Amino acid sequence: MAAAPSPSPSVPACGDLPAAVSAFADAFVDFAVSGIFFPTSASSSSPPPPPTTPTTFLPSPSRLVAIGDLHGDLPKSLSALRLAGLVPPSSSLDSSPSSSAAASPSSSAAASASWAAGPTLAVQLGDILDRGGDELRLLYLLRRLALSAEARGGAFLPILGNHEVMNVSGDFRFATPQGLQEFSAWAGWYRAGLAIKRRCGEHLDPQPRNPFLGVPKSFPGVKPEFWDGMRSRLAALRPDGPIARRFLADLPTVLVVGDSVFVHGGLLEANVEYGLERINAEVSEWIRGEGGDNARAPEYVRGRDAVVWLRRFSDGFDCDCKRLEGVLGMIPGARRMVMGHTIQTVGINAVCSAQAVRVDVGLSRGCGNGLPEVLEINAGGTEVRVITTPPSEAWMYRKQEVEKAAAAVTEKSGDVKEGLALLVRESHGLKEFSFLQTVRHHSQ
């Protein structure tokens, strides 16, 4: 009997392939989850690059754009990006629901979106997560847009909102069933990527990390059909979780661009005294898990007066303008504070002699379905204007609101209840959850 042929010397051994295998697994997971190929392998499961401190201060660009809260609504977010001229215009407005599959027109548009705004610098005011079913697709889209902008001489910079802080803290009370389903699907693909890597596992340095270790498999009080989504979301978003580390850890909490201060909730004197760069660095370290999985969020992103929770300068038209002026006076060159967080039913507006600019229009269909609007600042901060949805498109959003209200009435009388409210016990490292149905409100 002839001897079995020996392996061809032209076929590399597994030991020569760990980097290629890892890169393939990363691209595989990225595309399966989002439909997006990144220019380079920036994997959710690869060893993280050396940590960097988020940007805090940037010079004034020739054109500066601000976009408010997005809350898990991919089609409406794309509408805002098009309105700002950051991505190419679409031939038709996408009205597919936010719980649509990855093959929807909006997902296809997101997968092909590239920066179209040259040297423009755009800031997104946080609250990408919660209230919708496109959270992961939005995170992937915004990261792709940031890379594309950098390659074309521009910049796209999201900042952290209170809902990002809540999710990293394990507070999922505003997650939707569709959002949990999206994270459950991510977990399946992520595990597949880990399995691919383990084919050459002994040659990978460091070894692939399993983020599901130590995460509960059941959640007393939560309906069993949500358990996998809960577990997947907790594994992905807890400190040093792969989604938190990749998409959130390098985002600033406060960003100063020229004479404009961008913050989700607002700043008080104590925040400026503590140090804006210090706040950014310490929040980033917490999200990367440098304080351990059980570390609480830094104090200045917790509580009603925290920088991501404050409403003192964004709620209503009777603001403490003198105090705002004092806070801005502590930041060299600052002329205005641009904030999200509090829905402005009248659209983007300004008070206190335009020192307080509020840009959360309640855009997401999960919290208002407001008309997309964006803020534009030109000529080094001397020209400020609002770009709003043209009447030719506004009718679609109004039609959606009427249809939604009619559906609620025909379903049954009384409050429309939907979504998850998850109560977190702060005394436990891996937190316990209970399930409640809550009435959606528009103030969070």
Catalytic residue annotation: 163
- Angle subtended at Cα 395 by Cα 390 and Cα 400, rounded to the nearest 5 degrees: 130
Instruction: Name the token pair of 187.
Output: 């977990």
Contact 224, 299 (CB under 8 A): no
The dihedrals phi and psi of 27, each to the nearest 5 degrees, come to -65, -35
Find, among 276, 248, 213, the residue nearest to 51 by Cα: 248
Q: How far apart are CA 422 and CA 222, in angstroms?
A: 9
DSSP letter for 401, please. H
Q: Which helix (H) or strand (E) holds 281?
A: helix 276-287
Contact 89, 82 (CB under 8 A): yes
Instruction: Name the token pair of 57.
Output: 């201060």
Q: How far apart are CA 330 and CA 338, in angstroms?
A: 16
- One-letter amino acid at 386 equals V
Entry field: residues in the chain: 444
DSSP letter for 388, please. E
Please provide the distance, in angstroms rounded to a whole number, between the alpha carbons at the two ends of the chain.
76
Q: What is the DSSP string of 23-69?
A: HHHHHHHHHHHHS---SS---SSSPPPPP-PPP-EE---SEEEEE--
Contact 342, 314 (CB under 8 A): yes
Task: Classify burial at 285, counting beta carbons within 10 Å of its beta carbon; exposed 0-12, middle 13-18, buried 19 or more.
Answer: middle
Partnered with residue 252 across adjacent β-strands are none
Q: How far apart are CA 159 and CA 171, in angstroms?
A: 19
- Angle subtended at Cα 142 by Cα 140 and Cα 146, rounded to the nearest 5 degrees: 115
Q: How far apart are CA 57 and CA 254, in angstroms?
A: 9
